[in-house]
Amino acid sequence: MKFAVIVFPGSNCDMDLYYAIKDGIKQEADLVSYKEESLEGYDGILIPGGFSYGDYLRSGAIASHAPIIKEVIRLAKQGKPVLGICNGFQILTEIGLLPGTLTNNRQNRFICKQVELSVENNETLFTNHYSLKEKIDIPIAHGEGRYYCDPETLQSLNDNDQVIFRYSEDVNGSVDKIAGITNKQKNVLGMMPHPERALEVILGSDDGLKLFQSMLETQKSEVQ
């Protein structure tokens, strides 16, 4: 499986994702500039955390107009797996691949700590290595991580099992303690916590590894 890690000006978790693929699941990965216009040959698209374009206007707003975005949207609509983490999640909402938006934490300050998540749906290509309702420890690092959507959208997310991860406690004021969601087709995942920073016990947790193993296992099954 070959992954593209999209790099914007201000990305700072691109290398974390790169090594999650190269060392974590022993697959191919390339750092791909936001200036590129083609993603041919890639089996999965990863959009890392950071502060694309310095988070000017609002997080992910400027990145949503980068040349590479049209290709990300095209491949997502073809069913290719697309994972956006932290700023990547913000970008996915800005470009309309995921509903809702991310806004300032309820505390109005940056939060960086280990949190507990509950796996709300383990039947997706991102979560099939987890157990339903499994509790996992994954770090967060964000200032604008509070997920918001209107009541109708929340109802739709719940009805379609699109809420994939919830915080066990209310860490930032997110609606319904949402930490990660997918699109209706379940091939696009956005999440604020950083699974790429939870690949080894020495880092505090290896609970993030199962997410990348799930993506790899799904691809192997489809090839067979």
Highest average pLDDT, of 53-62, 98-107, 210-219, comes from 98-107
| pLDDT single digits (tens) 41-63 | 999 999 999 999 998 888 999 99
| pLDDT single digits (tens) 155-199 | 999 999 999 999 999 999 999 999 999 999 999 999 999 999 999
CATH classification at residue 110: 3.40.50.880
Residue with tokens 């691949």: 97
pLDDT at 140: 98
CA-CA distance, 15 to 196, in Å (whole number)? 10
Six token digits for residue 63: 């990145």
| pLDDT single digits (tens) 103-139 | 999 999 999 999 999 999 999 999 999 999 999 999 9
Q: Which residues are known to be catalytic?
A: 86, 194, 196
pLDDT at 218: 77
How would you class 165 by CB atoms within 10 Å of its CB: exposed for 0-12, middle for 13-18, buried for 19 or more?
A: buried
In the predicted model, is pLDDT for residue 142 greater than 60?
A: yes
Q: How many domains does the chain have?
A: 1
In the predicted model, is pLDDT for residue 224 greater than 70?
A: no
Give the confidence band of 219 by pLDDT, cuts at 50, 70, 90: confident
**pTM above 0.75?**
yes
- List, in sequence order, every residue forming a beta bridge with 11; answer none if it has no partner: 50
Range of the domain at 209: 2-223
Q: State the chain's mean pLDDT as an integer.
A: 96
